[in-house]
Amino acid sequence: MKVTQQTALKNRNSLSLPARCQRLIEIENRSDFNDLPALIKANEPVHILGGGSNTVLTQSHLPHTVITQTPPETAEQGITLEGELVLVDAGAPWPEMVHWAVNHGLGGIENLAAIPGSCGAAPIQNIGAYGVELKDVLEWVEIFDWRLGRFFTVNNAQCQFGYRNSYFKRHPEKPWIITRLAMRLRSDSPLRLHYSGVRETLIHLGHQPETASYAQVAQAITTLRAQKLPNPAILPNAGSFFKNPVISDAHYAALKHNFPALPHWPQEHGGHKISAAWLIQRLGLQNIRVGDAGFYRKHALIVVNYGQASGADVLALARYVITRVQKATDITLEVEPVCLPETI
């Protein structure tokens, strides 16, 4: 375990926002968890930071103790097989987990290739892409409670997964840190290629969709993501910034009069999912900047740091866009990443 004070976090968040935390605790091995109860005081503000790819540090100083988990040196070191389940340490990078699975002929998460961040952050957000969500394969999550000083598991149903949501995300006050995930990945898992562009990209890469391997699908997904999303190492960003809102049938019918070309996806239990990116573009908001915070030119859902953006810049940009969309459509956009310490 490594503990430092007044630690810079600029290199620990993918938006590259300047911030310092009161204290940083780095978990380096499993036995370190047992030391947390003695280190964390009652009512002390604590934040669990994974890869920092889904976090917006909205102020320059966080009065928090931030806890991170050092990733294993190789993917194999963080992954174990237990019967039909694949167990992975929370500190392992998610892209490496997908790479390991598809190269071992195991399917179920190939559509989630190239999503940045740690495995421990994946269930908090219920990461999803190209028609697949983590909840589709997750069996259980192991948690360490630093108040009680013990490990326990939470099953899929107890995670209360929703669209980019979970029990963990709704209850950040819990004294919990995710330590491991268990997923049921299968060698006969059916391919899910219905999402726009997946089949076409497979063919472009020289693969037949009907006989594609999990590794080939992951390659196609990685290619698609690279075409749409900026590399955080080159242009700092936190991925999709706003959720696609789900509205009622009546609300959609009313909107359609003013926005006849509005993209929508009917939902299984009623309502319509609406494209937040389309609304932002349609209302002429994609080119707006606050300081160096602005939207990516190729995708109106991606907020990027064009240079020296601060958390306050990102906060102001998001609030302005939310207000404009609300006034024009009566839709309140929800922010996808975790904002700390000030929420939007």
Q: 167: pLDDT confidence band, cut at 50, 70 and 90? A: very high
Instruction: Tell me the two tokens of residue 117.
Output: 């961040």
User: pTM of this prediction?
Assistant: 0.91
216, pLDDT greater than 80: yes
Reported as type and span, the H/E element at residue 180 is strand 176-184
Report pLDDT for 283: 97
**Residue 63: is the preceding peptide bond cis (ω within 30°)?**
no
Q: What pLDDT sits at residue 163? A: 87
Position 196 scores a pLDDT of: 87
Q: Does 342 have pLDDT greater than 90?
A: no
Which residue numbers are catalytic?
Answer: 164, 240, 336
Q: Which residues, 6 or more positions from 121, have their beta carbon under 8 angstroms from its beta carbon?
A: 50, 51, 53, 54, 94, 127, 178
Which residues are bridge partners to 107 per DSSP?
186
pLDDT of residue 73: 87
* Model confidence band, residue 29 (pLDDT cutoffs 50, 70, 90): very high
The strand pairing partners of 240, in sequence order, are 302
Q: pLDDT, tens digit, for every residue of 99-135? A: 999 999 999 999 999 999 999 999 999 999 999 999 9
* pLDDT of res. 83: 85
Closest CA to 314 of 292, 284, 287, 341: 292
Q: How many helices (H) and strands (E) does the chain have?
A: 10, 20
Let me know: does 340 contact 45? Beta carbons within 8 Å.
no
Question: Which of 228, 239, 222 shows the shortest CA–CA distance to 114?
Answer: 222
Distance CA 251, CA 170 (A): 26
- Could you tell me the two tokens for 181? 């995930």
pLDDT at 118: 95
